[in-house]
Structure 1
Amino acid sequence: MHSTYYNSEEYDQPQLYDQENGSYTEDIAFLRQLAEQVQGPIIDLACGTGRATIPLAQAGYPMIGIDIHQGMLDQAKAKAAILLKDHYQSIQWLEQDCTSFQLDQRSDFIFTVGNSFQHFLTNEEQDGLLYSVNHHLNSGGWFVFNTRSPSAEELLQPETEEYWRSYTDTTTGQDVDVYTISRYDALNQIQHYETIRRFRETVNQSADERITHIYLRYVYPQEMKRLLSSHRFEVVECYGDWQKTPLGSTSEEMIYVCRKR
């Protein structure tokens, strides 16, 4: 059973997504350390526009990028064609549902980063994801993912508009101010984020405001431990950031390094 939430608004403009998220690289060095230990293709689930897939391919690792959003994959392919040039074929891009993806091969290393784990909103979706990952991992293979920590500060935010960031839209040249409003559904452990982008007026562009919505599932550490164990994963490490700081009560995210039992 899939969630009834429509959860793709934030990804319907892939170029905008890259402007706001494409410069994030904190997880790449971490992923490369594990990539050095494995053979064969590495699978990036919910790969989006290839933010992590492409740098690993540039480092010489054969990659498979899987995402359910065709527009994000099209953006990823366009970027790879430019950045990889003669090695463009080192990535296989597939449009599939990560809760039930099917490949004719297995891998020593599967990851999903960018807090993509939070997009699997129901128990059934989480089970489908973890079952599919386990099915495609070789024995002893690695599974790495991160998710925001369900701290009180994160979940119990006031339901008022909060400033997030500003940047310049490279397409229009307009400055953009971004605000968010969050509402937490404790019964379902789902945070609803409303993102408001206000485009400032310029000589060639009028002022504009765009609103998108996204829903994110939060999982508590003990709940996650039992969930992973039920799908035959051993949690080898759990960090509070990509610099391998031990997970603590004030950590903003949880990074799980798992092996298939």
Structure 2
Amino acid sequence: MTIQQHNTEEYDDPTLYDKENNLYTEDIPFLQKYASKAKGTILDIACGTGRATIPLAKSGHKIVGVDSHKGMLNEATKKANKLDLPIDWIQQDCTKLDLNFKTDFVFSVGNSFQHFLKNEDQDRLLSSVNRHLLQGGIFIFDTRFPSVEELLQPETEEFWHTYIDSETQYKVDVSTIAKYDALNQLQYYTTIRKYKDETNHIVNEVRTNVTLRYVYPKEMERLLANHGFEVLQIYQDWQENPITNNSYSMNYVCKKVSESYNDDSILSIVK
């Protein structure tokens, strides 16, 4: 994925990322349903350490994972090799994909869409996806719903959850600090992890920062249409419940119906 250099802290420790995210599997059955209809190679964009890529490969699907973060791809490769899974892992900027195949199924999950912070980044991502999709091909992705509760969080430390670190057996209390920039639709997150021993004393504290872009439903509708996609469904979760004003997520199922406009050409004309 395209992540600005200052925006990679949350992913610079792939092992930690897996500890905190590998148990999430709610999207896998949904993706499996569409993967079963795919006729060729499936493309996972912003694949990270392969959380969603590997289960689909285990089901027998031919799949390629693309990400810009070398460390995440190295971890994905290790995991796939242990399972003897023939997955191609490719390090590329997802806004400038240059692969030697087209597919009828592309997906990008884990709210990766939010890492494309500028309008130009979003344009180039969707144009890139369009170029690698066959006519009528399916593109599935998710992004957080810009609800009032999500955006207007207090700019103070808020407890999130606790887990046990599998290596040290320390209890890890995770909290966040969020600040929303309404003009740019950017949420600045600081994640704080406090490692506590058996006596509940803090033995280590790690802070990471990430910036996320929020997109409103009507804004997304126009954005996708401009890039040759028809929105087939919008769900609030992977159980296919319809989106509401109280949703936390927007899960899109789109179909390529036309070619995307060439945003690079448009930019050159504007200049």
Same fold, TM exceeding 0.5? yes
Please give the TM-score of this superposition, normalised by the length of structure 1: 0.95
Shift of 1:253: 0.2
- Residue matched to 1:260: 256
- Residues 168-194 of structure 1 show CA distances to partners (whole Å, capped at 9, x for unaligned) of 112222211111000000000000000
- The 2-side partners of 1:200 and 1:38 are apart by 46
- The 2-side partners of 1:51 and 1:42 are apart by 15
Change in Cα spacing, 1:4 to 1:14, as seen in structure 2 (3 Å) is closer
What pairs with 1:79-228 in structure 2 (closer than 5 Å)?
79-82=79-82, 84-85=83-84, 88-89=85-86, 91-201=87-197, 207-228=203-224
Contact persistence 2:3–2:115 (CA under 8 A): no
Distance 1:3 1:210 in 2: 21
Query: d(CA) in 2 for partners of 1:93 and 1:137?
Result: 18
Counterpart amino acid of residue 74 in structure 2 = D
Separation of aligned partners in 1, 2:240 and 2:198: 44
Instruction: Label 1:80 to 1:234 Cα distance change in 2 as closer, same or farther (>3 A).
Output: same
CA distance in 1, matches of 2:57, 2:221: 31
- Percent identity among equivalent residues? 55
Residue 52 of structure 1 is matched in structure 2 by 52
Alignment match, 1:234: 230
Deviation at 1:6? Answer: 1.4
Q: Compute the displacement of 1:3 (Å).
A: 7.6
* 3-state SS of paired residue (1:191): strand
CA distance, structure 1, for counterparts of residue 62 and residue 4 of structure 2 = 35
Deviation at 1:81, TM superposition (A): 1.4
Q: 1:183-216, CA deviations, whole angstroms, 9 ceiling, x for partnerless residues?
A: 000000000000111111359x970111100000
The answer on whether the counterparts of 2:162 and 2:171 sit within 8 Å (CA) in structure 1 is yes
Per-residue CA deviations over 1:11-63 (Å, capped at 9, x if unaligned) read: 01101001101110000000111111111110000000100000000001000
**1:5–1:215 Cα contact (<8 Å) kept:** no
Unpaired runs of at least 5, structure 2? 258-271
State the Cα distance separating 1:126 from its structure 2 match.
0.3
Q: What SS is found at the alignment partner of 2:127? A: helix
SS in structure 2 of the partner of residue 76 of structure 1: helix
Stretches of 4+ aligned residues off by more than 4 angstroms: 2-5
C-alpha distance in 2, partners of 1:34/1:187? 37
Q: Secondary structure at the match of 2:96?
A: coil
Matches within 5 A, 1:64-75: 64-75=64-75
What runs of 5+ residues in structure 1 fail to find an aligned partner?
Answer: none
Note the aligned Cα RMSD (angstroms). 1.5
Kept in 1: contact 2:235–2:241 (CA 8 A):
yes
Tell me if structure 1 keeps the 8 A contact 2:194–2:202.
no
Within 1, Cα distance between the matches of 2:122 and 2:223?
9
Supply the distance in 2 between the matched residues of 1:80 and 1:16 (Cα, whole angstroms). Answer: 18
Q: What is the count of residue pairs matched by the alignment?
A: 255
Q: Equivalent residue of 1:16, what SS? A: helix
Q: CA deviation at 1:167?
A: 1.1
Q: Matches of 2:108 and 2:239 in 1, distance apart?
A: 17
SS in 1 for 2:191: strand
